[in-house]
Structure 1
Amino acid sequence: MATEVTVPTLGESITEATLGQWLKKPGEAVKADEPIASLETDKVAVDVPSPVDGVMGEQAVAEGDTVLVGALIALIQEGSASTSATPAAENKTAVAQAEKAAPPEPGAAPATSGGNNDALSPSARRAVQETGIDPSTVDGSGRDGRVTKMDVQAAAANPAPSVSAPAPAAAAPASTANGRKEERVRMTRLRQTVARRLKEAQNTAAMLTTFNDVDMTNVMAARAKYKDLFEKKHDVRLGFMGFFVKAAVQALRDVPSVNASIEGDEIVYRDYVDVSVAVSAPNGLVVPVIRDAQHLSVAGIEKTIGDFGKRAKDGSLKMDEMKGGTFTISNGGVFGSLMSTPIINPPQSAVLGLHRIDQRPVVLDGQIVARPMMYLALSYDHRLIDGREAVTFLVAIKNAIEDPTRLLIDL
């Protein structure tokens, strides 16, 4: 007996995903709640757990395929890997039952056992192309003996001893006339979404960027003085993001339009600050949200950011943690960026870009001295935020960072 594994509910308004990677192969033992596949959505990667103990059976879709919520993607067979390595025919019977319970694919024509390519469904033809299996050598388990995608995959996974199945064609890089090579890799769903949203921001917002620089001397001194005590008490390292988020919260309170957004012909002002922080993940940039940052201490902010960073790397961020956000801070300085013009994260109206800290000559009291300086960049939607407000906001950030006491006495 086989247990079906289907695509779980992925969150509000998300109806499909891409199967990014199979974590278990057919014939491998699995335990209940153990991840067997990874799905890529528009925002994060989601693991699909096995509903029962058993053996990984047939895989209904291939890596890179688009799947809908509720769709069958695999079967889990009863038993253990050592005692019940399920024969291909038994697996195909279970899959056929699942297929018969669902409507046939549009345009799919019935095929006889050992059918030809013309009689195969689109998904089965694709499986034939990917695996190199000759469909005439496959016993069909679909309606009227039709060869299904699962039949082809089963034949590829369990080739008959007397038949030498053609090996799948290797995806070799294309060669040019000069012997140079190119490789084409399909964009992940996350990267496609990032590309689409960034282009939408450029097309919709009247985007402009203003710059300032900030002397990091006092913040660096405070961090050096208290970092060990801070880590000992709060079990998290003291970074610069805690200071910048606190400074941004105060500046957003003074310049509320930077924390607002345009909805239709209305401007939405907010009395709360949900700060989106851009962090690096294996599949691209993700932007989890620090909720109600106006109520958090520097320690609370650092703990939240640290947790986001760890879970972004292992792909365990949740959908709800990626939604919302009223203002974004992007720290390109950790990668060595000197200056940039960050792009707004719609429907937000502004984004603050932080950059690397360099020793640069500045004039203080008539003397040229070297100071640790950082460029700040604020990209904003000029439809809502005027230049005066953008400059006022950046100056408020600059003042708070150059004199961190302001953060304590609420100036």
Structure 2
Amino acid sequence: MTKLQLPDTSGKLCAYTLQGTPWDAAKPARAFNRVVFSAAHVVADPYANVDPWTGGAIDWDATLAYRRYLADLGLGIAEAMDTAQRGMGLSWDDSLTLIRRTSQALEGTGVPIFNGCGTDHLDPSAVGTVDDVIAAYLTQVEAIQQAGGRLILMASRALARVAKSPDDYLRVYRKVLAAADQPVVLHWLGDMFDPELKGYWGTGDLTAARDIALQVIEESQSKVDGIKISLLDKDREIDMRRRLPAPVRMYTGDDFNYPELIAGDDQGYSHALLGIFDAIAPAASHALSALANGDKPKFLEILEPTIPLSRRIFGAPTRFYKTGVVFLAYLNGHQPHMVMLAGHQAMRPLPYFVDIFKLADAAGLLREPELAAARMRQFLALHGVQA
């Protein structure tokens, strides 16, 4: 049995024995009965002579290999999203390169890929008008569509800054959706994920915001595949799901309550566009296979141990959840280091990483326990801990 010493919050070392049974990373035997996307992280290049404050450089081979791994497990790819540190280290130029390279890497696989489209090449503080926001969105729409990509219309920090009323949001989304050549996924990201998006849709009242988002959908329904909601509030998601026009999908972005929302109830269910699926991909794949086989209890049983892990990874301040996602990729041997774009490996305290190690073990998500323990020891040594 694999053992190591882990520190508590006082620095005292406590013996820990790994106990989880790892999930195998196997291709699903049948198609899922939910549309499922994993937002995917990027792997930084630790050897590049680039200052972290400028963003850093990408290890393209490791980044694309991780997308192939997710695709082999039956998961679609939500590319260049916040999980990839979009707006927190990943630039628009690198985002577009990532979109193009992922499309090429997965060409012919049939794996669905949707791509983040926003306004992040603008400095929000320098944006003067709503027309500036429209033009910025259209720049990215055109570039991604020229690359053959489908769109996820990401929430815009610039729009949240300059919009004076819900009418400004309606005008922006009408213009941008009109330019889409295929139905898009809208993206409602709560301010727990990005404080600069507070009051999105032109109001701090979430019920009124819901109604504006529904109006956007109803006015341009033929251009909307679905909407992803990341509010970490299952009741609001269910409420909106029941109000959507029939062809429009609800994609859960609730990394706290995803099993229940994907399983659904007698009035419907959510599809998935989740950052946590990057971290729990093997368990998610097995669970979704069970659901496709009509075994909802098994689906929920598999995912139940992943909930404490996800809630710890996405705990406040939620916007730094990417650090936990990358840490699991490091523990599991998908990348040889814990360096992140913009130095985000430093955005969480040591007890956070210790908890993730234990919770991932409990959920069967340390695929090679000996390797995970060795890497955890290396990581602890960087903090002066001899485990």
Fold in common (TM above 0.5): no
Q: Compare the two structures and name the one with the higher strand fraction.
A: 1
Q: What TM-score, normalized to structure 2? A: 0.25
Q: What TM-score, normalized to structure 1? A: 0.24
Q: Compare the two structures and name the one with the higher helix fraction.
A: 2
Bigger Cα Rg: 1
